[in-house]
Amino acid sequence: MKPLQSTDPRRLGRYRLESKLGEGGMGQVYLARTAGGRRVVVKVIRPELTDDPDFRARFAREAEMARKVGGFHTAQVVDADPEADPPWIATAFVPGPSLEQAVRKNGPLKEPELTALALGLAEGLEAIHGCGLVHRDLKPANILLAEDGPRIIDFGIARPMDATEMTGTGTVLGTLTYMSPEQAKSEPVGPASDMFTLGTVLAFAATGTNPFASQTMGAIVFKVISNAPEVKGLPDRFQPIIAACWDHDPKQRPTPGDVITTLDDVDTGAGSSGEADLPPERAADEPPASVLVPTRRESKLPGRDIQDSPRPESPSSTKPSLFWRRPLSSAVGTVLIAGLVYWAVPSSAEDPTPSEVEADLVVDLHEGLYEEDDDPHSSIRSMKLSPDGSTLATHDDFSLSRGWLRPNVYLAHIRLWDVETGEMKSERRINTEEASPTFLFDPYGTPLYAEFTHGENFFLKDAETGKILLTLDSREGIIRNLEFSDDGSSLLSKDSKEAVHEWNAETGEYVATHDLEDDVTLQGTLSPDQTIVVHQDGDRLDLFSTDSGELIGSIEGEEEGIRSHTFNPNGTILATGGDTDLTQLWDTDTRELIATHTTYEDTFYARNFGPRISIGSITFSPDGKTIAVGRSDGDIYLWDTKSGEHTLTLAGEEEDIRHVVFSPDGNTLFAGGSGSMLRMWKLT
C-alpha cells in the first residue's frame, strides 16, 4: 500500500480514495471508502488505455460479468461507471490470501481441505455457467480464500457462452499454464474449458506444482495440447476426477455438478448446503437451490451417475475444515478484487502476503548539481563496508551534457557514511574528465581511492584527505579496478588486456604481471573459505579450485544471462540472478539447483505487456537466513532461505538496484543503483 501521489485522483464517483494498492497491465487499484465509512476497492483503467475502445469495452464487460454471477462466489461489484473518464469499478473489500499464496506459504492441501476447495470451486463454476458465462482464466491467483470459502475473481476475459467474438491472429487470452487445449489453440471455448482448468487448479492445490509448467511458452503449449500428464501425489479419490477434467474431448469432461455429486456423495462429512459453515448472519444469503444444485444428467466421471447418487441432505453435516480459516501467523493482508487483472497488497493482519516498506532514509546524492530542465545521468557504481562494518563507502558518478554553449559536467564522488545513523561522514568530489576513480578499503579500514589517469602512472589516495599515498605504474594498460590481496601485501588490478598486475602495497613498486589463462584463481568471486573461485562466461558459471586451479564444475544459468551471483556466508550455496526475474540457489558441492524464487506475477498481461524485470544484485544477510534481491524496478525482495518465503518488500523508485549491503548485525540494509538515490532501511 502506498500513499496517494499528486497525479492520483482523490475521488471517483462517490468514493473517497485513501491509498494506492498497486497497478497492473490494465488498471490502477485503490483502497477507498464510502461516505458511510465502508471500505471498497476501486480499479481505474490506465490513462494510456482510456482512448482504446477495446479496453473500454473489456472494462465494462468485467463489471457486467461479475454482477451477473453475484457476490456469493465472487467479490461483489458494488458500483461501476465504464463511461466515466477514466472508467472505474468498485468492489467489496474482501480480505484473504489467494490459493496460490496459501499453497506457496503452507504447502499442498490435505485431502479434506482439497475436497472443500473442489466443492466450493465447482459450486462457483456452476453459478458462473448458470449465468451463461465462461470464466476462461481460472487459476490459483484468481481464487480468493475468503473466510466462508473460495471466491472466483477476475472476469476480465469472461465471455457469454454464445459469444461469436474470436481473438486476433496469434492472440491467446488467459494464463498459458492454466489453459485448456482449445484455449491454447485459439479455438472457441465453452464451459468445458473451465473444467479442464479446474483439474489443473486441483492438481496444483494437491501437489504444490503445476504439471503444465515449463521454461518456455512453446513448451507449455506443447504440454497443454498433448496427452494429459501423470501427476504423482494426488489423493486416490481425485485421480479420476482430474483425469476426467483433462479429457481432450470437451464433451467428455465432467460438469461442475458431476464434481459436486462425486465428492459430496463420499462419506466425508460434506453436506449439501454448506449452511453450517457460514456464520448465522450469512446463512440467509445463500442463493436459491436452482443456482447450486446441478441439472440431473449422466455423469462424465468414472463409475458415477448423478441420478443414482443423490446428494445427502442432512442439515447437520458440515464441509471439511478449510485450512484458510485457521489463524495465519506472521500474516499481513491481501485484497483480491473480482474482475481485476492485478492483485494488490493492502495493510491487514490476516494474510501472508509480505508487506511493502518504504526506506527510513533516502538521500539524493546529486541534488543541486543540475537544473530542472537538465537531463543528467547518475549511478552509484559501488558500495562497500569497512572491515569493522562501521562505515559504508559509496562511489557515485554524475554526468551532464548541456550542448555547445555551456560546459559539460563529469563528476565522481567518494562518500563515507555512518552505518548506525546513516549520516554522511565525509565526501570527496573528483573530476572524472581527467581521471576515473575506484574505491577500496585497506586491510586496516582506511578508505582509499585509486585515480586512473591516461598517463603512465595512477595514484592511490586517502579518500578523506585526498593525499597521494602511492604512485603506481599503469603498465601501459587501461586499469579497470584495484584490490588488495588476501594477506594485504599486494595490490592487484585487471587491465583491458585480460592481464592482472601486481604491486607491493607498502612501496607501490611493480612486482609482476600475470596472465589469467595461466592462473584462473587471480580474479573472480571467491567462496568465504577461499577454496573456490567463480568465473562467469555468459550464462555459465565455472567453479575452480584455488589450490589446484582445476575446474570443479559448471552451473548453467538462464539463457538470458546471469547479472549477479554470490555465495552464502558458509559457501554451501551459490545464488544467481539474471534477466528473467528468477533468483536461483545452487548447491556448490553438486552444482544442482536447489531452489528458485521469482517475483513475477503470472498473468497474461504481465508476461506479454508488463515491464521486463531483471535481477541486478543478490546479497545474503550475515547469518545467511535472508537473501535480498535487488530488482530493475527499484524494489528489493527479502526471502527466507530456509522456507523460501517472501518475507518483505523494500519499496524503491524505478531504478536498477545494483548494490545491496547489509550491516554486520543484519539489522540495516543499504541499496543503490542506476539512479542517484541512496536508501537505508532499518529491518528491526
What is the DSSP secondary-structure string of 649-684? EE---SS-EEEEEE-TTSSEEEEEESSSEEEEEE--
Task: Count CB atoms within 10 A of the CB of residue 502.
Answer: 18
| Co-location of 601 and 545 in the same domain | yes
Residue that finishes a domain, picked among 306, 322, 338:
322
Q: Are residues 610 and 678 located together in one domain of the fold?
A: yes
Residue 203 lies in a domain: yes
pLDDT band at 250 (very low <50, low <70, confident <90, very high): very high
Query: If pLDDT is split at 50, 70 and 90, which confidence band does 481 have?
Result: confident
Residue 532 is predicted with a pLDDT of 87
The model's confidence at residue 7, banded by pLDDT at 50, 70 and 90, is: confident
For residues 463 and 562, state if they share a domain: no
pTM of structure: 0.48
Do 449 and 414 form a contact (C-beta atoms < 8 A)? yes
Distance of alpha carbon 69 from alpha carbon 543, whole angstroms: 57
Is the pLDDT score of 58 beyond 80?
Answer: no
Domain encompassing residue 430: 374-523
C-alpha span between 158 and 79 (Å, rounded): 19
Hey, which residues are catalytic here?
137
Beta carbons within 10 angstroms of residue 373's beta carbon: 6
Q: Which of 117-131, 368-382, 404-418 has the lowest mean pLDDT?
A: 368-382
Task: Write phi, then psi, for 106 (nearest 5 degrees).
Answer: -105, -5
CB 415 within 8 A of CB 396: yes
pLDDT value at position 256?
94
Greatest alpha-carbon pair distance for the chain in Å reads 95
Of the residues 322, 340, 360, the one at which a domain ends:
322
Assess whether the previous peptide bond of 528 is cis (omega < 30° from 0): no
Strand 490-494 to 483-484 pairing: antiparallel
Q: With beta carbons less than 8 A apart as the criterion, state whether 257 and 123 touch.
A: no
Nine cell digits for residue 494: 585487471
User: Which amino acid, one-letter code, is at 678?
Assistant: L
Print burial letters for 421-438: b (CB count within 10 Å at least 16), e (below 16).
ebeeeeebebebeebbbb
Residues 514 and 555 in one domain: no
Tell me which residue has cell 538462464: 558
Say what the pLDDT of residue 605 is.
Answer: 45
pLDDT at res. 644:
83
The total number of structural domains that make up the chain: 3
> Residue 96 and residue 353: Cα distance in Å, rounded?
10
Mean of per-residue pLDDT scores for the chain: 75
- Choice among 31-45, 118-132, 165-179, 278-292 with the minimum mean pLDDT: 278-292
Q: Is residue 388 predicted with pLDDT exceeding 60? A: yes
Q: Say yes or no: 510 and 537 in one domain.
A: no
The CA distance from 241 to 114, in Å, is 12
Instruction: Tell me the CA distances in angstroms from 580 to 576, 597, 611, 631, one per residue in order.
Output: 11, 11, 11, 11
> According to the 3-state scheme, what is the secondary structure of 335-371?
ECCCCCCCCECCCCCCCECCCEECCCEEEECCCCCCC
Residue entry with cell 501521489: 5
Whether residue 615 is found in the same domain as residue 531 = yes
d(CA 379, CA 161): 54
Whether 386 maps to a domain, the answer reads: yes
39: in domain: no
Give burial (CB, 10 Å; 0-12/13-18/19+) of 275.
middle
- What's the confidence (pLDDT) of residue 476? 60
Amino acid 421 reads: T
Are 431 and 499 contained in the same domain? yes
- Write down the pLDDT at residue 638: 92
What CATH number is associated with residue 264? 1.10.510.10
Whether 30 maps to a domain, the answer reads: no
Count Cβ atoms below 10 Å from residue 62 Cβ, excluding itself.
28
State the residue for C-alpha cell 588486456: 497
CATH number at residue 613: 2.130.10.10
Q: Are 182 and 317 members of one domain?
A: yes
Which of these three, 302, 322, 342, is where a domain ends?
322
How far apart (Å, rounded) are the C-alpha atoms in residues 511 and 379?
Answer: 34
Domain for residue 11, yes or no?
no
